[in-house]
Amino acid sequence: MIQPARDAPFFVVLNPGSGRGDPDETRALIERVFTEAGREHQVLMCKDRPVSQVAAQAVDLACARQGIVVAAGGDGTINAVVNAVLGRGCAFGVLPQGTFNYFGRTHGISADTEIATRALLESSVEPVQVGQVNGRAFIVNASLGLYPQLLEDREAYKQRYGRHRVVALWSAVVTVVRGHRPLRLLMNCEGEQRKVRTLTLFVGNNPLQMAQIGLPEAPVTGAGQLAAVMLRPVSTFQLLKLMLQGALGRLGEAEDVRSFAFEELAVRPATPRRKVRVAMDGELFEMRPPLVFSVSPHALPLLKPRALPGDAAATPP
| Contact assessment for residue 231 and residue 146, using Cβ atoms and an 8 Å cutoff | yes
How far CA 314 is from CA of 118, 123, 307, 317, in Å, comes to 13, 12, 5, 9
Instruction: Verify that 116 and 229 share a domain, yes or no.
Output: no
Instruction: Verify that 84 and 168 share a domain, yes or no.
Output: no
| CA nearest neighbour of 197 among 232, 242, 238 | 232
Instruction: Verify that 111 and 144 share a domain, yes or no.
Output: no
Instruction: Verify that 112 and 155 share a domain, yes or no.
Output: no
Residue 8 DSSP label: P
58 assigned to some structural domain: yes
pTM score: 0.86
1 assigned to some structural domain: no
What pLDDT score does 246 carry? 75
Q: Which residues of 247-279 are buried (b: 16+ CB within 10 A; e: fewer)?
A: eeeebbebebbebebbeebbbbeeeeeeebbbb
What is the rounded CA–CA span in Å between residue 224 and residue 221? 7
Which residues, 6 or more positions from 157, have their beta carbon under 8 angstroms from its beta carbon? 167, 168, 170, 171, 174
25 assigned to some structural domain: yes
Per DSSP, which regions of the chain are E strands? 10-14, 41-45, 68-73, 91-96, 124-128, 131-133, 136-138, 141-145, 183-189, 192-198, 200-204, 226-231, 257-262, 264-269, 276-280, 283-287, 291-295, 300-304
Instruction: Verify that 41 and 166 share a domain, yes or no.
Output: no
Q: Which residues of 51-89 are buried (b: 16+ CB within 10 A; e: fewer)?
A: beebbbebbebbeeeebbbbbbbbbbbbbbbbbbbbeee
What pLDDT score does 254 carry? 86
What pLDDT score does 308 carry? 46
| Contact assessment for residue 126 and residue 1, using Cβ atoms and an 8 Å cutoff | yes
DSSP letters for 258-303: EEEEESEEEEEESS--S-EEEEETTEEEEEPSSEEEEE-SSPEEEE
How far CA 266 is from CA of 52, 146, 178, 283, 301, in Å, comes to 26, 19, 29, 21, 27
Instruction: Verify that 76 and 89 share a domain, yes or no.
Output: yes
Instruction: Verify that 165 and 302 share a domain, yes or no.
Output: no
Q: Which segments in the chain show pLDDT lower than 70?
A: 19-20, 147-180, 237, 243, 307-317
Integer-rounded Cα radius of gyration of the chain: 20
**Residue 42 in 3-state DSSP?**
strand
2 assigned to some structural domain: no
Instruction: Verify that 105 and 84 share a domain, yes or no.
Output: yes
Domain with residue 61: its CATH number is 3.40.50.10330
34 assigned to some structural domain: yes
What pLDDT score does 263 carry? 94
What pLDDT score does 234 carry? 79
5 assigned to some structural domain: no
Q: What is the pLDDT of residues 248-282, one digit of tens each?
A: 788 888 888 999 999 999 999 998 889 999 999 98
DSSP letters for 156-195: HHHHHH-S-HHHHHHHHHHHHHH--PPEEEEEEETTEEEE
What pLDDT score does 306 carry? 77
Q: In the chain, how many domains are there? A: 2
Which residues, 6 or more positions from 8, have their beta carbon under 8 angstroms from its beta carbon? 65, 66, 67, 68, 91
What pLDDT score does 309 carry? 40
286 assigned to some structural domain: yes
What is the rounded CA–CA span in Å between residue 101 and residue 92? 16
Instruction: Verify that 224 and 310 share a domain, yes or no.
Output: no
29 assigned to some structural domain: yes
**Residue 41 in 3-state DSSP?**
strand
Residue type, 34: F
Instruction: Verify that 159 and 121 share a domain, yes or no.
Output: no
Instruction: Verify that 289 and 304 share a domain, yes or no.
Output: no
Could you tell me the residue range of the domain that residue 37 belongs to? 10-129+298-314
Q: What is the pLDDT of residues 140-185, one digit of tens each?
A: 999 998 866 666 655 654 556 555 555 555 455 555 556 567 899 9
Domain with residue 178: its CATH number is 2.60.200.40
Instruction: Verify that 69 and 158 share a domain, yes or no.
Output: no
